[in-house]
Amino acid sequence: MTFFAPGRVNLIGEHTDYNLGFVLPIAIDLGCRATAEPLDSPRLEVHSVNRHEVRHWDLAALPDLVPSGDWTDYVLGVARLLPGLAPTRLTVESNVPTGSGLSSSAALEVSSALALGAAERGIDLARLCRRAENEFVGVPCGIMDQYASVAGVEGAALLIDCRSLEIRPVPLPSGLSILAVNSMVKHELGASAYSDRVRECNEAALSLGLSSLRDATAAQVESLDDPLIRRRARHIVAENQRVLDFAEASAAGDRQRLGRLFAESHLSMRDDYEISCPEIDFLVEAAGRAPGAAGSRMTGGGFGGCTVNLVQAGFEEAFEASVRQAYRDRFGIRCDVYRVRPSAGARQIDKKT
């Protein structure tokens, strides 16, 4: 049986998911395909076509395995949570660029879980895959990536309330294309800085006597004593409001407001949350000077990866050429550009038997 699970581009709402706030991702048309075939011997065999690697484990050993710190953790993290796993050969193949903020990890987790026979669907499937990433991979991520991969809707963005877990599809204005521009850099700082931000937000919430920053007001945030903690919390509170404003402007077709919200979100990530980097800041500035530009900001966890860009339809090629040239002139790096479309969530892609 073969399942496909998409990656995602987060339009706006960065680092708000683990603060139980709002996010607005789209599932994209890039994703991971996972095929399961029965095996004779009692083991789990996993083949990553991308990595040209095959690894195997005795099924009986799965509960006691410790993470090995590589790609297999994503698959094993999921496999360990599935009761009565049958002997299986799992083949995974993805066209989501890895480590670029488009969530190749959630695509891998969700497609693997489905192919390995997980009974869960919808939010329960997203929760299972998030648990694998939190507990086995060791990334304290929120629910956004896995939920977007599971629940994607063709042609619409997903307004997710990360506390109630309610999802509302939000239409995007016609005549705008979404382009992800890959900086092709990922600064090492990323992994530890992510955990730092989670901790800093928890500290801010605790200081305010709240269980999460979801309920903090802008006035409360400005009362925080520690300037660093104050800036972190300021980003979260303002970003939550920007997600709601973006959803409203998108449904109303107000493109200028969309562009302004992208710009504000980027500055907030750069200056208050401090998760950008020179390459990404340059790509955002270069996008602003490119033909057809309607908005640009970093997307994903940060410290590299991709920017997400709104581009007037018909200008995609000119936009891409302009940004590519500028980036190459400045950093000597060829960036990849993906034109992405809001797509359906995870699904079986071979014939049901």
Nearer to Mg ion, 17 or 316 (CB): 17
Q: Compute the distance between CA of residue 332 and CA of residue 65 in angstroms, rounded to an integer.
A: 43
Which of ligand ADP, Mg ion, none sits in contact with 32, Cβ below 5 to 8 A by type? Answer: ligand ADP
Which 95-124 residues touch Mg ion, going by CB under 5 A? 103, 105
Please list the active-site residues: 145
Contact criterion met (CB below 8 Å) for 23 and 301? no
Sign of the alpha-carbon dihedral angle for 107, 112, 115, 120? negative
**In the structure encoding, which two tokens stand for residue 46, read together?**
């996993």
**In the structure encoding, which two tokens stand for residue 268, read together?**
């907030």
CB of 39 to Mg ion, least distance (A): 28
CB of 300 to ligand ADP, least distance (A): 6
Nearer to ligand ADP, 32 or 114 (CB): 32
Q: Is residue 288 near ligand ADP by the rule CB under 6 A?
A: no
Amino acid letter for position 152: G
Strands annotated E in 75-149: 88-94
Nearer to ligand ADP, 49 or 119 (CB): 49
Q: Which of 53, 95, 102, 97 is nearest to 75 (CA)?
A: 53
CB of 113 to ligand ADP, least distance (A): 14
- Strands 43-48 and 88-94 turn out to be parallel
Which 4-63 residues touch ligand ADP, going by CB under 6 A? 32, 48, 50-51
Element (H, E) at 245: helix 227-252
Sign of the alpha-carbon dihedral angle for 191, 197, 200, 205? negative
Q: Is residue 103 near ligand ADP by the rule CB under 6 A?
A: yes
CB of 130 to ligand ADP, least distance (A): 12
Nearer to ligand ADP, 98 or 220 (CB): 98
> 116: number of CA atoms within 13 Å, CB side?
32
Q: Is residue 170 near ligand ADP by the rule CB under 6 A?
A: no
Binding site for Mg ion (CB under 5 A): 103, 105
Binding site for ligand ADP (CB under 6 A): 32, 48, 50-51, 71, 74, 92, 94, 98-105, 108, 300
